[in-house]
Chains A and B, each alone.
Chain A
């Protein structure tokens, strides 16, 4: 309360309470009679306030009394007091804060006590409380709970740690300690002002942003700043240090042997293909027909045959590629084979369920006359033997076409192959029973099924060129049977998924197998039952393989449209392993329906290779 307000004038009857409580009421408290004491009416708006401010000279010293709500004009003394307090001086004008201090106590010991109070009793007797505390501490020290203060360590923090170092000493725990690799040093692109070619173009930046952070080759975007002043702080600096720390203690360390080889040294030293001539190098002939993809072909000296999907067998001349005869057979020709006997002119053709023996009536008249005679000289035996197939003589019309004999099978025939002597031939039937393979004798018109049980799907068969062996290729294995003893002599593991074709070296000790998983396996029968070498030259499935009869050559045709001719030298010396060198990749066939080369075959005497493809061409490479 301000002193200037007289006591009886106190109109605040509510006491010392927050005045906000009466904020919304028109009155403040009640008088002795119980009437409301109203607040002075305040309905001044801004304009009134402003006018008052302008007109009233005492406006600056008018203060609203919060307790009563009335305006109070401060007196001069009050204004002075406020000013003093604002300056931080004492409110009382007469108070002197800088009075000279009178020392009450002096350093000199006086003879009289300052106060006359007698000393307490407790100053004479030891304190019980303190005693208790001390005894507690003593007990704690005795029990070892509190340790006495340690003496300060005076030894310097750093000294010559490596004063007595042993140069030969290795790290205590591992002999194989791998020191942490150092960080990569920065290149030009990390510079704050790199050469312009290191800056990322717009596309590169987009590509960079879309990459995973772990995949990026640079973990920053190269930037160019005009001057050093403009270089900002790198926001990922702490991150990078932290990642380095993590690498240091969380990454397994391993010594990686960097292979430091000249790649040229890895290439094996092989004899040059030029020294291994002759082999076919260029395409000499292309014979195309409009229709049909040629599944199979055969060749003797100067005539070639080709069987096609459109149900014809075409005979053509090798030297001119002229088609000499077309023999319609009415169904897809699966396989053709020329009789290897030079005194006979006979072709075995596998069509649907039958094998046709065809005399093409081409070439030497004597020769095919003799062949006809030989076939007609057959005398049927007295007693009929039970045969798995039917030998049917052809009708007159068919005879006119050249078909001499029809061997009727019960199921479609896949493959037909001749024995080297030219009398026997074998056929493969697509069947799951034991009668997949049949061996026929053409002179006696007699056939038999050699196997009692089937050992899987037979892919192809072939005769040993000189000895009485018979090779049967199933999906994964090649079985070699001795026909005389009638027993299994060998089982070759091909290490491929699905064997497609097989060829036997004219020497008879080596077999190659082509497979649909684009591998070619070379077996040496003397060596082991596993492939001597697996060649992965083709990119697609192999369709057929072939050996040359005289030259050390073999060829493989594949679905990727290429024929690869390899040099495969077999030595008479048993200790020397065969030498396999690819010598030529022959291209030319066009892929149609994902099929490329369907059959390859060598010329019997010349180093020429024939290939027939799904694009309806037969090509000759010389």
Chain B
């Protein structure tokens, strides 16, 4: 199992299940024979065996309480490396980047585990270090694109060398460890992922001309020292200690590594844009703009705000960030600093407000990043009911349901004035939806229309015997009828043609149509819900207004 995980061998679905399974159709997993043979040739198998022998010897020595033997055995503990497996599984660097999603999520998860039980402390520390290093890289290269606060955790998406890399980090709470999870499997995965991530980090740092393992810039170091005082001096005594300090606190690394690198970064990029075509240039400019979203802004995080994700996001868009000194080391300026422009706070009220800065809820940062522009701050003041937080990963296609907030946002991005037009748009949107509804109804009706037609015929027959109806209305009806008849005819033709389809094609067609209809139904349902909600809100408002008047 461990080998399969490390080598990335997965079962295969055989083409002829019955043939392979000796005639039975019971569900079994099948591996390719080639894969199994391939696993047997792996040199790491021998290493694993050695390790097993070592463990056995050690246990024996412990049992006999031969401590010197234990010592000796421990000194010669066999080690193995996964380098060649990484190289083999990912022959090119791009391949490795493509598969980085799971590695990052796993490392971030493991780095939040407590240092006791469950898995080795070294693994946790390594994970933490690698995760921090990767975050530093993202900050230095400013490659973060999207952030999403979900109820599961925080999703980040960065664009590393043109590859979108998405990972999720849990919220910083203690985990209650489930009992039905096999931690050994996860540990094996993590073992491989840490190796992979280490090499990827190395390469990424070198691509930015950064030192690996990361070192704090000496100039920034000097800046920091007087502020930090003794704690920091202690850390910088020896390289190893410093490294461990790096891994333990992200923020301190964040500040310095980045600042000297930005300039280096920009020159080549600008040179390229000049050569490229206009469309690309525009895109690039937008990207550049997005990258410098928070440039020149100075943030201060209140202590109840989750520091790490916010600091990471703000720094990776060029903002400067600080926090209370007692919260974590690495704070660069104080809360009373007059140059602070944005104060992130998550309390319903602010006790003492300082003039000249915005007091905002943390969602503003994330929403601004996703919207690629600094959103108007009015919606995000402390204690205000926040606008919904939308997922940046959803790209609406035609026919999908688009929440009105998203439309507002799109309008904002286009540079329109949001307050006036948003409502109109909402209305438009609603109208559109209505149209959709109508169309759908028509579709539904088309099935019934044959019967309707017949009924009409009969009615007409019966009517012809009786007195004629009023003429004006009859004329009106006819106009509609013509269109309607045409439609009916077309739909009937279609239905007849569908009858003649082959069995397989018919199945496929029905499936596709079912999927489409379901989609439309869901969108309509959401729209209806929204409408109901809005009307309820409006009524409440009216009521409250009336109450106020009274």
Contact = CB atoms under 8 A, between A and B. Distances in A.
A242 B106 contact: no
B202 interface: yes
Contacts of A179: 98-99
Given A191-B389, A196-B533, A237-B153, A587 B173 contact: no
Contact of A169 (B5, B91, B306): B91
Nearest to A229: B346
B362 A253 contact: no
A244 B454 CA distance: 57
B363 interface: yes
B529 to A, nearest CB: 4
A472 B337 CA distance: 103
A223 B151 contact: yes
Given A197-B529, A273-B496, A583-B496, A160 B206 contact: yes
A336 B498 CA distance: 36
Interface stretch (B180-188, B248-256, B431-439): B180-188
Contact of B508 (A220, A261, A536): A261
Interface stretch (A89-97, A144-152, A442-450, A541-549): A144-152
Given A196-B388, A231-B151, A252-B29, A268 B450 contact: no
A197 B202 contact: no
B120 interface: no
A161 B389 contact: no
Nearest to B11: A252
Contact of B178 (A174, A239, A272, A282): A239
Contacts of A166: 91-92
Interface stretch (A1-9, A181-189, A318-326, A338-346): A181-189
A183 B10 contact: no
B398 interface: no
Contacts of B346: 227-229
B93 interface: yes
B198 A157 contact: yes
B49 interface: no
B198 A158 contact: yes
Contacts of B335: none
Contacts of A583: 496
A210 B390 CA distance: 28
Contact of B149 (A150, A228, A267): A228
B198 A192 contact: no
A235 B179 CA distance: 12
A183 B101 contact: yes
A248 B202 contact: no
A171 B526 contact: no
Interface string B495-512: 111111101010011001
A318 B450 CA distance: 25
Interface string B179-221: 0111001100100000000110111001000001000000000
Contact of B499 (A159, A194, A582): A582
B393 interface: yes
Interface string B372-413: 000000000000011011110110000000011100000000
A187 B457 contact: no
Contacts of B8: 249
Nearest to A269: B497
B181 A239 contact: yes
Nearest to A267: B497
Interface string B142-180: 000000111111010000000000100011011111101
Interface in A126-184: 146-147, 149-150, 153, 157-162, 165-167, 169-174, 178-180, 182-183
Interface residues of A, number: 93
Interface in A8-49: none
A270 interface: yes
A575 interface: no
B305 interface: yes
Given A263-B509, A587-B454, A242 B182 contact: yes
B83 A161 contact: yes
B141 interface: no
Contacts of B272: none
B35 A162 contact: no
A242 B102 contact: no
A193 B388 contact: yes
Interface residues on B, range: 35 or more
B280 interface: no
A272 B492 CA distance: 10
B527 A162 contact: no
A583 B151 CA distance: 56
Interface in A533-592: 535-537, 580-585, 587-588
A283 interface: yes
A527 interface: no
A147 B76 CA distance: 8
Contacts of B394: 185, 187-188
A240 interface: yes
A227 B176 CA distance: 23
A239 B175 CA distance: 11
A190 B362 contact: no
Interface in A202-224: 220, 222-223
Nearest to A159: B202
A245 interface: yes
B384 to A, nearest CB: 10
Nearest to A253: B10
Nearest to A161: B199
Given A170-B91, A190-B150, A241-B109, A234 B500 contact: no
Interface string B353-364: 000000001110
B51 to A, nearest CB: 14
Interface in B508-522: 508-509, 512-513, 516
Given A186-B148, A237-B152, A266-B509, A250 B170 contact: no
A226 interface: yes
Given A267-B494, A587-B451, A185 B166 contact: yes
A229 B301 CA distance: 13
B62 interface: no
A233 interface: yes
Nearest to B202: A158
Given A233-B173, A234-B153, A238-B181, 19 more contacts: A149-B76, A150-B75, A159-B202, A182-B101, A186-B393, A191-B390, A193-B363, A194-B390, A197-B403, A198-B403, A227-B361, A232-B173, A236-B152, A237-B109, A245-B189, A266-B505, A283-B454, A536-B503, A582-B500
Interface of A: 146-147, 149-150, 153, 157-162, 165-167, 169-174, 178-180, 182-183, 185-188, 190-198, 201, 220, 222-223, 225-229, 231-242, 244-246, 248-254, 259, 261, 263, 266-270, 272-274, 282-283, 535-537, 580-585, 587-588
